[in-house]
Structure formats: C-alpha cells, structure tokens
Chain A
Amino acid sequence: MIEQILNDLILSPAWYYTAARGLTVIVILMSIAAYSVLLERKASAWIQGRVGPNRTNHPLIAWIPFFGNVLMRGGFIQPAADGLKFLFKEDALPGHVRKTFYVLAPCLALAPVLISLVMLPFGELPNGKIITLCPGADIGVLFMFAISSLGVYGIALAGWAANSKYPFLGAIRGSAQLISYELAMGLSVLTVFLATATPDQNNALSLVSMVKAQTGAWNILYHPVAALIFLICIFAEANRHPFDMPESETDLVGGFHTEYGAFKFGLFFVAEYSHMIIGSSLFILMFLGGWHVLPWLPNVGTGIFATLIGLGSFFFKLAAFLFFFVWVRWTVPRFRYDQVMRIGWRVLLPIAVVNLLVYFIWYALQG
C-alpha cells in the first residue's frame, strides 16, 4: 500500500507538475508582494515630495551601463535587499512570549493567503482553459472568503502569544474588525451573484464564470453600491489605511506585531501585502472584468496573443489597484476604532442589506 501511495503521490509526474505550478505561483505572489512594498515606498515618497529608495545596488547590476543605474534609481534592488535583511537578521525570541504560538502565528497569517491563491484565475488560454492552480473547482468565491479570512487567526494568535498589552489590543481589534466587515462584504457579493448566476447553472460560484459573465458591461457598472461596499471591506480585511486598526502605530506601537522582528515580522509583512493582492484580484475578477481588456471589449487579438494581452490586462489592473491602496493611505486619515465599528455595523451592513433587497426585488420583478 505504501508503494501505491509513493507511486501515486510522489513518483507520478502529475505530482511534479502540480508542485511546479504551486511553486511558480508562490514565487510570483511573493515577488509581487515584495515589489508592492517597493511600490508603496516609492508612491509614498512621491506623494510626500521625496524620491524614495534609490540607493540600493549590487556590483553586478551597477556594472550594466545605463540600465544598472536606472534599476538603482528606481529602487528595483531594494526588495531583494529588504528580503535578505529579513532573512539574515538575528531572529530574537523575547523571553516573555508563549513560544510555540509565537512562532506559529506568522505561519498562520501567511498560509491561508497562499492557500486561497489556488482558486485565483489569471487568464484564459486559447483553448479555453483557465490559467489557475485548481482549474476544476467551482466554489471559488466561497473558498476564497472562507480561507483568506482565516488569516485573522494569525493576527489573533500573534497578539495572544506576544503576551504584551499593545499586541493584545491590536489582535482584539483585528478580530472584531474582520467579523464586522465580513458580513457586509458577503452581502455585497451576493448581489453580484444574483445577477450572474442562474439557479440551474453549474459552476455558479466560480470566479471564472463570474469573469465570463462580464464580456459586456463590467459588474461595477451594474452594481456600483456593491462595488463600493466591497472595496471598503477589502481595505478593512487587508488591514490597510484607513482601517489599519490592528497595527495603528500611533496608539499601539506596532499593534499585533510589536513583539516581532526579523523573518517572523517579514512573514506578517508579506501576508499583509498578499492580502492586498488577493483582495484586489477578487475585486478585479468580480467587478472589473478580470482579464478582459475593456468593457464590451473582452479580447484583443487572437490565439496566444489574446491570452497574453488578457494576462497583461489583469496584472495592469492589479498594479493600479495596489497603487490605489497606497494612494488612499496618504489621503484618508486612520479612523478611530469606534468609528470603524460604526461604519461596519451601522452603515455598511444596512446599506448592503438594502442593496441586496433592492436587487432581489428588481430581479424578481424581471423574472
């Protein structure tokens, strides 16, 4: 039997294929996360009249004429330096923490994000196949919501394990905030599904079918209120300004990761940016037509060319969205915690319910 398992799981070529695909996506995600840090630093600098990281270089790259200089000025080597720094810094373990959970917390923060990634479609191949890690699954959205929300356990655990008041407060805020906004988020998505899914349809909850339903107008045009609620909720879910309650440096030092440093802090960091990426991707897939180039213009070109344009379109939207995150960060000041709660429960949730009812009645009347 063991032989059987070995044959099926390890020695079969399908296994290698899957592993390679997984690794590729992880690498891509990690580097997008790393470069979104760069994007964040650069955009922050520009908004504040500064230049941003433009010093880091490596002799091998500096040696390239002109291009090496451009890379340095653009700060493109900075993420590598940051990553290496996180890796090689002394990984101090404070004496007062609960060690097992303390180490576990950053892993728990990052793992769900990576898992939810498997459901994410990026584009369409010429033969109609979807570029994704888990092509067959038809519960994409549910899975994504379910798994990516688990990331808050990392935060909660970090706050608990750090055994210190500020992380604890941060963690409590993080959990409460997640619960508050998850509801409005789910309700806003429901309206979209009302429109795109029919009761007898297969793959009704699949993100792919959602994208495919947007060959004409994008969902954002039909469901602006749902899009706005969803947008606010992904800001809250990703703990981004103006909803970065769990971190909120000014009142909680560093929030849940106050006691963390070096690589473990780096993991939290990557998790946060991966959350941004997942959230942005979901928004793009559900409201901005996924890999479709423009409303009423799903494809440009034919064959592999169309696929590439589609992929480019998706990643362009993703980059723009990540920039939007940063842009908002330097525009809207952080909410007070009670304001966050009020917005979640007393503003967004009722609006989402009303919005759902209105669309429900509208579609019911339409038949």
Chain B
Amino acid sequence: MVTDNKPPLISINVDGVEHQVVAGTNLVDALAKIGKEVPHYCYHPKLTIAGNCRMCLVELGSPMRDRATNEVILENGKPKIGWQPKPAIACATNVSPGLHVKLDSPEVKACREGVTEMLLLNHPLDCPICDQAGECKLQEFSAEYGKGYSRYVDEKNAKPKKTRLGPRVTLDDERCILCSRCVRFCNDIAKDPVLGFVNRGSFNTLTCFPGKELNNNYSLNTVDICPVGALTSTDFRFKMRVWFLKKTPSICTESSVGVNTTIWSREGKIYRITPRQNDAVNDTWMADSGRELYKQVEDAHRITSASVKGTKTSVDIAFNTASEIIKSGHLAIVGSGHLTVEEQYLLSDLAKKHSAKTYVPAHTGKGDGMLISEDHTPNFRGALVTGLTQNAAVDLKALSSDIESGKVKSLLICREDVTTLGLSAQLLSKVRVIVIATHKNATTDTAEVVLPGLTVFERSGSFINCQFRLQSFVQAIPGPAGTLPDSSYLARFAGLNVNSLWKELAQHVPALAGLAHGKIPEDGVVIDSSKWSSLTFPEGRLLKFAPAGVTA
C-alpha cells in the first residue's frame, strides 16, 4: 500500500502538451481534471463502463518499444509514438505513463460529428417542450461538436412519448439515445434490476421488465443521470425551465446521512431538489423521498405567523411573552436533532444560563443501508457536540415526572411534537409552553406561545452527520413574511449575538475549534469524535458509512 496519501502522478501527452495526471484514473476523468472536455453520454464516473455511445472517441498512442530489448525506440531524440490505427473510446481507457491523446485532430472531430448525426437521426428535436433543455448533454454536444445539419431525408421513427416507468419517472422513448446509464444504475447501485432494452435496430426501446415497475426509492437518480430528456421526473415535468432556477447547496434532512443536495428555486419557490456530488457521503445519489421534502415549505399546516394563546400576533409580541415565560424560571428545554449546530449551541447556552434540563429526543426508524440511516434526524451528533445532550438515546419520562411534581413550570420546545413522545396534552397544560415549530401539530395547539420556525431551505446553518462530518448549508428561499430564523429568537433569549456565534462556538466547543460557517469546505469536514466513541448509535451500514467495529 502507498503510505503517502498523495496518489502517484504520471505524465500524459494531450494534443502535444505534457500534463501530470493521477495514475490509473479513467481517461475521461483525468482529462476533465486538467480542463479538457471529452464529450460523452454513456460514461458516468459512478457507474460501470458500457462504451456504447461512442461519443468519447479519441486518438490514442503510446511510446513504441523494441520487441527484443523492451527499450523505448527513439526518433530524433524523442520516443517514437505508435498511434493506434483507429480511434478508441476514452471512457474505457485508463491513463498510463507516456500515453498520447489527440482530442482535436480532424479524425476525432469527424468521429464526433458522425456520432452526433447518428444520434440525432431519430431524435424528435422537441427541445421546446423537453424538460431537459438547458441541461441536456445531447443539446450541448450537438451544438459544440455536431455538424449543424442532417443529411437524413426519411421520416423519423415515432415512439411512445409518455410511458410511465414508475410512480415518479416518465419515459419519452423518442428522445432516448440508449446509453444504458439508467439500466446500469438500477442493476448496480439500486440493486433493483427492472430496466432493460427490447427490440432491435431503430425499434430498440427502453422498458421495464414485464410485471415490474421502476418504483424503488432511488428511481429519480435515473432521471438525474439521463443525459437526454428521455427519463423525466413526473413531479418536475413541465413545471419550470431549468435555466430560470437558482441553485443553492443544501443538506438533506431526511436522515443522519446528511446527503448533499442542490435546491433549485425561482423567486422564492422551490421546484426540485437534486443530489450534489460528495464522494465521502452520497456520491451522486439521493433517495426519492428526500426530494419531496421541499413540499413542506408550502404545506397547508405550515405556521407562518407567531401566536400567543392561540391568537395570531406579531413576532415581537410573541417573543416578549416568551421572554417573560423564560425569565419566570423552572425552565426545561426540549431540543431537537432537526436544529442546526448553531441553534443547538444557543439552546445549550440558554439552558446553562437558566440551569434548565435539556432533552433531545431521538427519532429512529428503518434505514435502507444506502442513503437513509436508522437515525431520522439530520443533526443528532450536533446535539452531542454542542453539549445539548450527553446520551445517544433520551426519553422524556424524567421530564413528565418533573412536570407532575411541579419542578418544571415552563417549557421551551424546539421542532418536536412532544405529544408523540409521551407527554400528553393534558400534562402540557400544566406548564407554560413556548414552541418554535414549522408546522402545526398537537404540541403547537396546546402551547401558550408559538414562534414560527423556518425550514432548512429558508435558513443557513450546519449539520453534523453520522460520520461526525460537519456540513454547512445556506438559505435558498426567503421564509414567510415577518418570520425570523430560529437562531435569532434563541440568540435573543440567550443574550448572544448571532453574527459572532461561530466565534463563541469555536471557543467553547473544542471539536469545532478553528471553524466557521463560511469556512466549512464544500464536502464538509470530519471533526474529532473520540469523546463520544463509547456511545452506541442506531446507524447500521450505509453507502459510505460503517458503524464502529464493522469494517467498511
């Protein structure tokens, strides 16, 4: 094994210029890394190689060696290059020392033009009604590498335009270029082989196997990787053109995996969520269920304004009432794994100042061994790191007996429906309750003060996932008019300044020393978790995570 973390570099020659690339990598990836684009459709870095689109044809050559001596043959003092007689596909080539590549030769150009013309023979060219337009590889490469015209004079093939492959995926067969990315994804990644090609020649068609449908929880990844508009998301179909959408990096809150996502929004409305590549967390995949979380923003039960004793008031009045309740003492705090690290720190600070007991209920459930873990909160580790809780599993029995005995007279609940966690509404009515919540539930119904919370799309912050990887996300859309982020309520309760919050965090939380929200790298940073190595967590094996004691 190489002890040095840096992978060995080798030199390859691209269009006559020497470049240093990582040994053994795929040629398409290696060239992409040095800024050279090789057009390709079927190749995907996270999938097996099929080599069927032929778009990435390049000319390859390597230094010639003497058969007898195995010495490099020199010509004018330079190694003599033996060029392969025919172009080869870059995606099936790994870089080797001294490899020579021609990306710009007339032959390569002719290859690309030919492939493009071939692919467009039966393409319906219905870009105006195609959802892929704007992020379509076929569109881009046809413009960049195509001829610009077609010699085909016959009628194009007509194929089914609106096939339902599954509950969330719609197929337009005319647009399909038969790259088989979706087939390979289902076979290799989702382990749910339901897709395949039937018929021959120009009747070749993508379809589900008889009696099956594409209904696994990762089906929408096929839409993401489809290089053309053949597979489209039924949810996003005809909703908005992609060029209008603003992309904001975010983190999925579905589980403690912390899938990296991109929020696609326009004018304060989210249209879709797609995965964002992070090879340490989720590669380029994401579960379908996580993609629907944006619907909570405009949910009918959304709390959009503050209320005191059931009547709507301004946030200021509600906040003042809440401050009074907190000052009245005998406080207990119910935090949440849905809060950000910043909010959890503010809560624990508030708890210290009012010597209040804190509870962070765990939400566990079934995981799928891929990208949905058993812990269904995105930031339970954050509660540990910020000191909001000490244990991996907490129940509210102690709290309920405290309320019964009158030890606790006021209760601050953040983003938890405690009525589902063992505190009855009747018990809650004995104490003065402040709730910060995004959606109406039984707890908000009984609370004295309700402060409207913001969803993950409407605020900035950071989460710590099951790998103790700190990942940040930023606000994608504005919250409902008049609302404030949770951190600003909590900061005012605790008497801290939101703007200097990370200074405090870095100072008081040893694991976060030297960090700040803006300084967290795009793929997150793993923090020191040795302090909590004794705890047992519910997570089992995941795509990129193995619990302690299980070898990855």
A and B touch in the complex (CB under 8 A): no
